[in-house]
Amino acid sequence: MKRIEYTTEVSEDMIDLIEYHLPGRSRDTISWYKNFSQETILYYKDGKLDGMISYFFLDFKFDMIIVMQRDNVFYKSMWKILKKTIQERVKPIRIMSDPNNKVLVRGAIRNGGKWVDDEIFFY
């Protein structure tokens, strides 16, 4: 069974998922959560945090989204939220994600995104 929660606070579950998802390179991502205002949708499966989408409100020219799912297979509801957010954005958005995930690359390009290293830019 899948459970969804909303939060603006960083939790140990979130840090654990970040470290699982980014082994050996999680420090910068964890810093985003600790230093910037964000809203996050958490996806729990069998009582364990399985995925999350975080929208960071920045004082820059762009806002940032970080998306991760334990097995890199995003839920249909995650895709819907991403698409709606991208289409209704007020500022350009950057999404930190894995450029090796071919499904994600195709989805980003289909919605007007441009890949640069490990970020997708929506201008």
Q: Is residue 116 part of a domain?
A: no
Q: Is residue 13 part of a domain?
A: yes
Number of separate domains in the chain: 1
In this predicted model, what pLDDT tens digit does every residue of 95-115 receive, in sequence order?
A: 877 677 777 777 778 888 888
Q: Is residue 102 part of a domain?
A: no
Q: Is residue 56 part of a domain?
A: yes
Q: Is residue 97 part of a domain?
A: no
> Domain range for residue 10?
2-88
In this predicted model, what pLDDT tens digit does every residue of 19-66 receive, in sequence order?
A: 998 899 899 999 999 999 999 999 999 999 999 999 999 998 999 999
**R_g over Cα of the chain:** 14
Q: Is residue 53 part of a domain?
A: yes
Q: Is residue 74 part of a domain?
A: yes
Q: Is residue 120 part of a domain?
A: no
- pLDDT-derived band at 8 (thresholds 50, 70, 90) equals very high
The pLDDT of residue 74 is 84
pTM of this prediction exceeds 0.95: no
C-alpha distance from residue 52 to each of 16, 23, 39, 111 (Å): 12, 17, 10, 20
